[in-house]
């Protein structure tokens, strides 16, 4: 935080930075943060995907340590240079926050109501490629300590598509509406989530914010 590129928030924040059992400094609530609250913008230097690849070589690192966030297909935010308090919000496989893109900016929102003393965390969901094996899992190790920890900050592996089922008898439309249809409508109304992916580096991936 003593970096000359650290830009502190100009507004009072609902959290403070303290040492975290997950990693380094973490953000801890100093008052109740209600579900849906926009907490802080994630600041970073806007660079190209190509520049991000030049700056960071994941394979050369003993442990992955970058602060990249995909803003769109061409632009990456690098909080390794310009940054604010949002850079210190840690990953967890049981997140209480999420990163969302809204009008060309990335913001951290409360997924649940957060009580004073709780650490603010969100799922980094680093992009996973087909060629990743145990070595990648070890490089992107997760130490969040959550009961459902998947052991890595990489996004969950995509499940193979389900095999087609034999055709069955039709039911009335009112009964055949699936939960996924309703969910799809909700997702469609959101803005895009922040994406933490880099061509060869792993970056975070934000999701879309609900349309206001």
Does the residue 199 lie in any domain? Answer: yes
CATH number for the domain that contains residue 80:
2.170.270.10
Does the residue 173 lie in any domain? Answer: yes
Q: Give me the number of domains the chain comprises.
A: 1
Question: From CA 212, how far away is CA 209, in angstroms rounded?
Answer: 8
The pLDDT assigned to 29 comes to: 98
Does the residue 1 lie in any domain? Answer: no
pTM for the model stands at: 0.76
Q: Do the Cβ atoms of 55 and 131 come closer than 8 Å?
A: no
Does the residue 193 lie in any domain? Answer: yes
Q: How many CA atoms lie within 13 A of 192 on its CB side?
A: 13
Q: Which residues of the chain have pLDDT under 50?
A: 166-192, 196-202, 209-212
Does the residue 174 lie in any domain? Answer: yes
Does the residue 5 lie in any domain? Answer: no
Does the residue 75 lie in any domain? Answer: yes
Q: Please enumerate in sequence order all residues whose Cβ is within 8 A of that of 135, keeping only pairs 6 or more positions apart, or say none.
A: none
The pLDDT assigned to 14 comes to: 98
The pLDDT assigned to 59 comes to: 62
The pLDDT assigned to 135 comes to: 79
What is the per-residue pLDDT across 24-77, written as a single tens digit (0 to 9) for each?
999 999 999 999 999 999 999 999 999 988 888 766 555 556 688 989 889 999
CA distances 2 to 42, 114, 149, Å, are 18, 28, 32
Does the residue 7 lie in any domain? Answer: no
Domain around 178:
15-157+169-208
């Amino acid at each position: 935080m003593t970096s000359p590129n650290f830009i502190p928030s100009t507004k009072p924040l609902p959290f403070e930075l303290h040492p975290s059992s997950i990693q380094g400094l973490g953000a801890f609530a100093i008052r109740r943060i209600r579900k849906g609250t926009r907490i802080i913008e994630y600041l970073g230097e806007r660079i190209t995907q190509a520049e991000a690849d030049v700056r960071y070589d994941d394979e050369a690192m003993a442990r992955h340590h970058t602060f990249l966030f995909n803003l769109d297909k061409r632009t990456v935010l690098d909080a390794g240079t310009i940054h604010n308090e949002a850079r210190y919000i840690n990953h967890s496989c049981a997140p209480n926050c999420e990163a969302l893109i809204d009008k060309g900016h990335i913001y951290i929102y409360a997924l649940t109501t957060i009580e004073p003393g709780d650490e603010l965390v969100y799922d980094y969901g680093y992009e996973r490629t087909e060629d990743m094996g145990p070595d990648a899992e070890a490089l992107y190790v997760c130490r969040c300590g959550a009961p459902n920890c998947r052991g890595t900050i990489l996004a969950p592996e995509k499940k193979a598509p389900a095999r087609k089922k034999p055709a069955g008898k039709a039911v009335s439309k009112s009964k055949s509406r699936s939960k996924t249809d309703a969910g799809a409508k909700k997702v469609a109304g959101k803005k895009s989530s922040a994406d933490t992916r880099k061509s060869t580096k792993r970056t975070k991936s934000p999701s879309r914010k609900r349309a206001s």
